[in-house]
Chain A
Amino acid sequence: DARVTQTPRDKVTEMGQEVTMRCQPILGHNTVFWYRQTMKQGLELLAYFRNRAPLDDSGMPKDRFSAEMPDATLATLKIQPSEPRDSAVYFCASGLLVSGVTEAFFGQGTRLTVV
């Protein structure tokens, strides 16, 4: 059963600390998304990669967030330094372009709490 794997599932950290979230996309998918979910804003797109190349990171606060894909099996989202307002659930999704659209499949998420 192919699935997107995210680690860690939960992370509690102190303000100012660096946080790294990892994602293993579904084998064969060439597209990776990072989303953030909060009660107030719902699901927001942070970044998007196709064939490991970053194509859109306009949703990310550039001064503290960074996203990378060191290889086809790993995507990372880093926050440095973290702030309490970063507390949210972060989802990675992977997808495949099919007939002109990309179907996105989500991982279980990383629940981040910054205190």
Chain B
Amino acid sequence: GENVEQHPSTLSVQEGDSAVIKCTYSDSASNYFPWYKQELGKGPQLIIDIRSNVGEKKDQRIAVTLNKTAKHFSLHITETQPEDSAVYFCAAIVGAGSYQLTFGKGTKLSVIP
């Protein structure tokens, strides 16, 4: 089955700096890679996703890149703000119509004012 590794497990950045979280996956058939943000006491919130036919996707301060050859994808947050502090999860899904998301272990991001 799919295996998703996520690094780092914790990340502290100064407000205004950039943050990068990286994930690797094992199954070359994986074709969908969402990122979730989870705040304390809340459910994971889908913030951005990318499909295997795209190399990069941006949404305001958030971007995701995908390298299919190396089987890794990354989340980039620019101009970080205190409200970006949360746990971020990457995930991967395999196959057309597939449903099972395999999650990374999460990255706790702290943005220091």
Partner-B contacts on A (CB < 8 A): 4, 31, 33, 42-43, 45, 48, 50, 55-56, 91, 93, 95, 97, 99-109
Contact = CB atoms under 8 A, between A and B. Distances in A.
Is the interface on chain B under 10, 10 to 19, 20 to 34, or 35 or more residues? 20 to 34
Interface in B26-57: 31-32, 34, 36, 41-46, 49, 51
B43 A91 contact: yes
11 contacts: A42-B103, A45-B100, A55-B99, A101-B31, A101-B93, A101-B96, A101-B98, A102-B98, A103-B34, A104-B46, A106-B36
Nearest to A108: B43
Given A103-B34, A103-B46, A43 B99 contact: no
A91 to B, nearest CB: 5
B103 A43 contact: yes
A106 B32 CA distance: 17
Contacts of B100: 45, 48, 56
Interface in B68-113: 89, 93, 96-101, 103-106
A101 B46 contact: no
B83 to A, nearest CB: 18
A100 B44 contact: no
A56 B51 CA distance: 24
A55 B97 CA distance: 13
